[in-house]
Chains A and B, each alone.
Chain A
Amino acid sequence: MRIGEKEATEMLAHGNPMELGKMADAIRRERFGNTVTFIVDRNINYTNICQNECRFCAFFRRKEHKDAYLLDYDTILGKVKETVEAGGTQVMIQGGLHPDLGLPFYEEMLRRIKSRFDITIHSFTATEIQHFARQEGISILDTLKRLQAAGLDSLPGGGAEILSDRVRQKVSPKKIMTEDWLHVMECAHSIGMESTATMVIGLGETMEERIGHMEKIRRLQDRTGGFRAFITWTFQPGNTELGGEKASAWDYMKTLAMTRIYMDNIAHIQGSWLTQGEHIGQLTLGFGGDDLGSIMLEENVVRAAGTGYEMSIRKMVQMIQGAGREAAQRDTEYRILKRFPRN
């Protein structure tokens, strides 16, 4: 039976985390057995120039800042080429909200990539999509249709942070609000463009707001079925204006378990080794996680906030096998591409 908001809030706030872990793990096992997946991809952060200036972000620069940058097409294509050569199947192109670039810039970028490479483009957060739409003066739906026609395959779930306008007003007042994020996702799903969903914890939100976030996504998923996975991150306080303490490992684990229990209509729960480190990353596999996300060939955003974890395929496979599971490389749609037998 489906668990409700009130009960879930109570479980998250006062439940025994080990019991939550056990429940989440049982659900995970029923669905995925022994397999744990990951993807080989590259993040391409085409610009760090951003007009949003979120207080939790260590990556953005104002246009006139000496470290501000914008990658040209050749540089981006070079990075895509390297990704393909390294066995990557996906690029995640994301950037700041650049004040001067219009939708045609992005369409051209997508077309150039697709005409040269056989690679999935899983790119642009809801925040960027809304920004592009505004720049172009057209609807979200039309923006997405044009991007899709130019080669955009799917949307990553970033920018959701916590879907609570109370928290968003505090930490990122210029960024899109709850309904905007959900609207972008709904439009994307309506044209067959699937996505993932994320949640960032440690932004000063309450347990109720965390469950509220899950509820909003679960409700939308009931309508569209377009979310492939749910990913929980912790806010990385290093080098950000917001600062403060990082959510604890304990908090992360129990919240992750709760997402598995609550999000009964989303298939995959991804553990974040990137924000948690490899140790806790591995433990997510016992708390409901069935996927460890990406071997990131480049992750400027997270790195700028001081979490410089590195990962190679070998380490990823070791981490999964160390948990007694079978490691498998997947594509963006979670189809298994390659299994890694134990030695």
Chain B
Amino acid sequence: MLCTKEYEEIEQKVMRGERLTREDGLRLFACPDLAWIGAMADYVRKKKCGDIVYYNVNCHVNLTNICLSRCKFCAFGRDEGSPGAYAMSKEDAIELVRDAMRDPHLAGLHVVSGLHPTWSFEHYLDILQTLHEKFPSLYLKGFTGVEITHFSRISGLSVREVLLRLKDAGLQAIAGGGAEILSDRIRRELCPKKATADEWLEVARTAHGLGIKTNASMLYGHIETMEERVDHLLKLRSLQDETGGFQTFICFPFLPKNTELGKTISQTSMWDDLRTMAISRLLLDNFQNIKAYWVMLTVPVAQVALGFGANDIDGTIHKETILHDAGATSPLALQEDTIIRIIREAGRIPAASDCNFNILPTD
């Protein structure tokens, strides 16, 4: 450890289980000592979560990449009619899930899509309901705070009403994406057309009030400052204090390939990725779970990330598209036995779970 008084104080706070401040967070981001930060995050993880690592046998359903938001950090969104643009019909979605159902362990779906300029809320709702009816054994997690805000805007319904209808249609949990950096400066610059920071937080707050759990995330490594990263984490922590409804936190490093922003910004280092994950574990003291999303981190780094605070490694996915459009070099999917092996090699205990972190029975 770097022997300065500030760092010693931080370590003592962590050992005592005391809450870290904004200044502590900034100091951690300024600290070059990755091994030390990682070991503290690992200590907290072990104390709080034990050795279980959660994973899902899941299938990602991205209904369309046609999106009116066209965020500068995104390589997935397209304009209608442009090359590569697609929009699944209800039958396409059923077909995709039927294919994924060939895995007898498939437990659920992760449904996240573009903000289609002409689809109505009812259309999304109809697809969700159909999937629920056709595949009643699968859990349904889906839609980010950004999509829910969009549904509210296009339907004229309140966020609360939108959420109630989605819940009625079978939605069990809300995805963590779309938080990006919860700063209006950043959002004006990168994604002015979609939910503002307050709107995103309001969706989470409302969902939690209705008993719907949600996830949270941070997209970093673009134009944000370290202050903005820390403030982002503290906004999530503060809402979590209020509601307790966040389940897991996901760090998304910005993948520059094929994005507008990528012309000027290069990818974060793995060093930064693991540091950010560990600091997230340390600052988000009221989050139970921290996810190492292997799609972005790559499989070997996701494995090592289990020592930097993570206790969740996402899922098999079936076929990832959003990040592979942005140049992700990881495989499109993982076999369940690969995930189990990765977790065991790290000396931890794999546990398949549903979207609400209930451990599923294994056969």
Contact = CB atoms under 8 A, between A and B. Distances in A.
B39 A19 contact: yes
Nearest to A28: B35
A325 B38 CA distance: 17
A341 interface: no
Interface residues of B, number: 29
Given A17-B307, A18-B35, A22-B39, A283 B270 contact: yes
Residues of B contacting A: mostly:
helix
B282 interface: no
Given A250-B346, A276-B300, A279-B298, A22 B35 contact: yes
Interface in B21-49: 32-36, 38-39, 42-43
Of all A-B residue pairs in the complex, the 5 with the closest CB atoms, nearest first, are A322-B269, A249-B300, A324-B32, A25-B35, A286-B34
Given A18-B307, A250-B307, A280-B301, A286 B35 contact: yes
A243 to B, nearest CB: 16
Interface in A254-295: 276-280, 282-283, 285-287
A188 interface: no
A323 B39 contact: no
Interface residues of A, number: 32
B301 A322 contact: no
B271 A248 contact: no
B11 to A, nearest CB: 11
Contacts, number: 89
Nearest to B34: A286
27 contacts: A18-B39, A18-B42, A18-B43, A19-B39, A21-B307, A25-B33, A34-B32, A245-B341, A248-B300, A248-B346, A249-B303, A250-B304, A250-B306, A251-B345, A253-B304, A276-B300, A280-B270, A280-B301, A282-B269, A282-B270, A283-B34, A286-B38, A287-B35, A319-B269, A322-B268, A323-B271, A325-B32
B272 interface: yes
A69 to B, nearest CB: 32
Interface in A306-343: 318-319, 322-325
> Chain A CB within 10 Å — which of B34, B35, B270 has the most?
B35
Nearest to B42: A18
A76 interface: no
A25 B36 contact: yes
A270 B294 CA distance: 26
Interface of A: 16-19, 21-22, 24-26, 34, 245, 248-251, 253, 276-280, 282-283, 285-287, 318-319, 322-325
A24 B270 CA distance: 19
B39 A322 contact: no
Nearest to B272: A322
Nearest to B1: A26
A323 B34 contact: yes
Contacts of B346: 248, 250
B300 A279 contact: yes
B70 to A, nearest CB: 29
A291 B308 CA distance: 23
B342 interface: yes
